[in-house]
């Protein structure tokens, strides 16, 4: 396994001049502190705490089977329909926002992790990181920031108003929510940094928008080693769902989220077709190539929340304050080796801290309006293909130990 270099130690190594930074060719449109990279840099940031929280609070919906959800029926004894009525409402992952909104200490943990992440470039400037580490960093910071802000808005069902903003209140995406290298940044600022620096269509799929009609939130943190693999997985899930791209007749109906990323597709229709072909199976290619029109009309601004934007208090029999501790012990991301008092690298967290992390009771007595989604999620996951083996990268030190 590659050795994880802790931030403070790395900063000392960098200041001693053991390796030099490489400046990217053209990054004039992003702030100077975020330019450049160092190829081969030993800096590797750990996100064990954020990873554990995602593992406990994100529900993986599986791959879409492209069936449209039928029109929901009114609740018994009423004419009203509760919850999301969109035909795409059963697609995409969900996060249990009440885990943060109903427990103030959990939200404080998120905010502390965010503060720690914001401070990392002060200890080791981003230009001294590899581009993969930078990409993982920005995606994690963006996602934790939007989850914190939506938690403060919770309970909220539709994010359309937050997304569009008003005369009195700017869009949530335009508000300065982060401060990195002494620069105030909005979600859109981070989005622009990623688009300018990576010039890759794939980066858009790592930015959780908080609503069903956007890319899914992953159930694990991005790292420098996994970021491209996870982005491709998220891209394929989105494109191969009705909320991402849906052929109908001679028209491709696509998510409005693509309009927000139009800069990535300068030759709009042709670039989009090539992009979709690269992420779909062969049987779809002729239909995509032959499309006469592409319309960005698909949207679903309903919050991507397991409880559909309603507080979970009172919906289940009990909460489990030790739930996260149990999960850490049984996790497959190295957490099984975690012992009390061990620091995870980002934030001053140990097992005792996690024992107080109260998880909303998402596992029992779901509200009626959640049942349909859960059933669909189980069906989709049962249709998944077999596991894919991923070869572990062996470090030079490991090779030397093996040869000796």
Contacts of 90 (CB under 8 A, 6+ apart): 61, 69, 372, 373, 376, 377
Range of lowest pLDDT (158-167, 177-186, 294-303, 349-358): 349-358
User: What six digits make up the tokens of 187?
Assistant: 């979600």
- Tell me if the pTM is above 0.75: yes
Q: What angle do CA 311, 86, 258 make, to 5 degrees?
A: 105
| pLDDT tier at 350, thresholds 50, 70, 90 | very low
Q: Which residue has the higher pLDDT, 393 or 234?
A: 234
Q: Report how far residue 246's alpha carbon sits from residue 244's, in angstroms, rounded to the nearest whole number.
A: 7
Contact (CB, 8 A) for 204 and 210: no
Residue 74 lies in a domain: no
Contact (CB, 8 A) for 69 and 293: no
Residue 223 lies in a domain: yes
Q: Which residue has the higher pLDDT, 336 or 91?
A: 91
Residue 76 lies in a domain: no
Backbone CA torsion sign across 218, 219, 221, 226: negative
| pLDDT tier at 311, thresholds 50, 70, 90 | low
Count of residues making up the chain: 404
Q: What does the CA dihedral 61, 382, 376, 143 come to, rounded to 10 degrees?
A: 0
Q: Report how far residue 39's alpha carbon sits from residue 231's, in angstroms, rounded to the nearest whole number.
A: 21
What local confidence, expressed as pLDDT, does residue 201 receive? 95
Average pLDDT over residues 334-345: 31
DSSP-assigned letters across all residues of 157-173: SB-HHHHH--SSS--GG
Specify which of 92-101, 260-269, 336-345 reaches the highest per-range mean pLDDT.
260-269
Residue 136 lies in a domain: yes
Residue 290 lies in a domain: no
Average pLDDT over residues 294-309: 91
- How many domains would you assign to the chain? 1
Place of tokens 């007595």: 365
| H or E stretch at 251 | strand 251-255
Which range marks the domain in which residue 145 is found? 7-64+88-243+300-381
Q: What angle do CA 171, 99, 346 make, to 5 degrees?
A: 80
Contacts of 120 (CB under 8 A, 6+ apart): 7, 45, 137
Residue 350 lies in a domain: yes
What local confidence, expressed as pLDDT, does residue 68 receive? 78
User: What six digits make up the tokens of 189?
Assistant: 């600022």
- By CB neighbour count within 10 A (0-12 exposed, 13-18 middle, 19+ buried), where does 116 fall? middle
Residue 188 lies in a domain: yes
pLDDT in tens, 98-150: 888 888 888 989 999 999 999 999 888 999 999 999 999 999 999 999 999 99
Average pLDDT over residues 22-34: 76
pLDDT in tens, 192-232: 999 999 989 999 999 999 999 999 999 999 999 999 999 99
> Is residue 400 pLDDT above 60, yes or no?
no
Mean model confidence pLDDT for the chain: 77
Specify which of 42-51, 76-85, 245-254 reaches the highest per-range mean pLDDT.
245-254
| H or E stretch at 374 | helix 368-382
Residue 315 lies in a domain: yes
What local confidence, expressed as pLDDT, does residue 76 receive? 52
> Is residue 336 pLDDT above 50, yes or no?
no
Contacts of 173 (CB under 8 A, 6+ apart): 163, 186, 187, 188, 191
Average pLDDT over residues 241-265: 96
What local confidence, expressed as pLDDT, does residue 29 receive? 93
Contact (CB, 8 A) for 319 and 363: no
């Amino acid at each position: 396994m590659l050795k994880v270099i802790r931030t403070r130690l790395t900063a000392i190594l960098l200041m001693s001049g053991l390796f030099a930074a490489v400046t990217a060719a053209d990054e004039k449109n992003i702030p100077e502190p975020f330019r450049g990279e160092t190829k081969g840099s030993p800096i590797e940031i750990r996100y064990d705490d954020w990873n554990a929280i995602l593992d406990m609070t994100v529900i993986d919906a599986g791959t879409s089977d492209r069936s449209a959800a039928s029109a929901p029926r009114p609740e018994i004894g009423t004419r009203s329909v509760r919850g999301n009525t969109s035909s795409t409402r059963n697609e995409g992952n969900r996060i249990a926002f009440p885990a943060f909104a109903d427990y103030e200490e959990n939200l404080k943990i998120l905010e502390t992790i965010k503060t720690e992440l914001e401070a990392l470039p002060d200890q080791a400037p981003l230009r001294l990181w590899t581009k993969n580490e930078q990409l993982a960093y920005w995606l994690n910071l963006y996602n934790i920031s939007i989850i914190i802000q939506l938690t403060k808005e919770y309970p909220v069902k539709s994010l359309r108003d937050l997304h569009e903003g008003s005369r009195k209140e700017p869009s949530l995406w335009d508000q300065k929510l982060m401060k990195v290298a002494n620069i105030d940044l909005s979600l859109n600022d981070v989005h622009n940094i990623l688009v300018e620096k990576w010039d890759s269509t794939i980066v858009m799929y790592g930015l959780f928008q908080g609503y069903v009609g956007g890319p899914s939130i992953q159930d694990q943190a991005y790292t420098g080693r996994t970021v491209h693999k996870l982005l491709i997985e998220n891209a394929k899930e989105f494109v191969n769902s009705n909320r991402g791209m849906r052929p109908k007749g001679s028209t491709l109906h696509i998510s409005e989220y693509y309009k927000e990323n139009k800069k990535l597709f300068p030759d709009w229709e042709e670039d989009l077709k090539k992009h979709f072909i690269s992420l779909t199976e062969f049987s779809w290619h002729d239909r995509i190539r032959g499309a006469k029109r592409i319309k960005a009309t698909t949207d679903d601004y309903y919050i991507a929340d397991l409880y559909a934007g309603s507080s979970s208090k009172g919906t289940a029999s009990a909460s489990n304050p030790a739930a996260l501790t149990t999960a850490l012990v049984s996790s497959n991301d190295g957490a099984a080796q975690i012992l009390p008092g061990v620091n995870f690298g980002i934030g001053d967290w140990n097992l005792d801290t996690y024992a107080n992390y109260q998880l909303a009771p998402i596992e029992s007595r779901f509200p009626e309006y959640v049942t349909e989604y859960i059933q669909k999620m189980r069906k989709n996951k049962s249709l998944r293909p077999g596991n894919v083996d991923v070869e572990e990268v062996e470090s030079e030190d490991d090779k030397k130990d093996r040869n000796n």
